[in-house]
Amino acid sequence: MRALVLISAIAFPALAWAEVMDKEFGFPIVVAGGLIGAVAIFAAARWLPWALIVVAPATAVFFVMHLSELLDPHVGPDVLREAGALYVGISWALPLFVIVALIAGLLLRRGRQNAAT
């Protein structure tokens, strides 16, 4: 069996070709990571601001890992070609959504503090 796989890989190298998206986060992972990060950051900013010490860096690390691949001059164009513009657009929109959630949580917290005084 191993010999057959080896012969097939030599005879048909396109079958052994690894795609770029095999090594990247899938679309559901990117969307779930962004939405979970946004909800966690909003909740932390609104009710437990000290929790932002943990939640914000964790979300930032996820997006830095992901967006660094999109910014790579060798990988980025292949990701766009294989996954499409929707994947790349969502990948850039979700960090902005997380920032908006952070600002909204902080503003709502501030509004609640002003109402109590």
The residues spanned by each domain of the chain are 20-116
The pTM of this model reads 0.77
Cβ neighbours of residue 106 closer than 8 Å, sequence gap 6 or more: 45, 46, 49
Per-residue pLDDT of the chain (117 residues; tens, 9 = 90+): 777 666 666 665 555 455 788 888 999 999 999 999 999 999 999 999 999 999 999 999 999 999 999 999 999 999 999 999 999 999 999 999 999 999 999 999 876 665 555
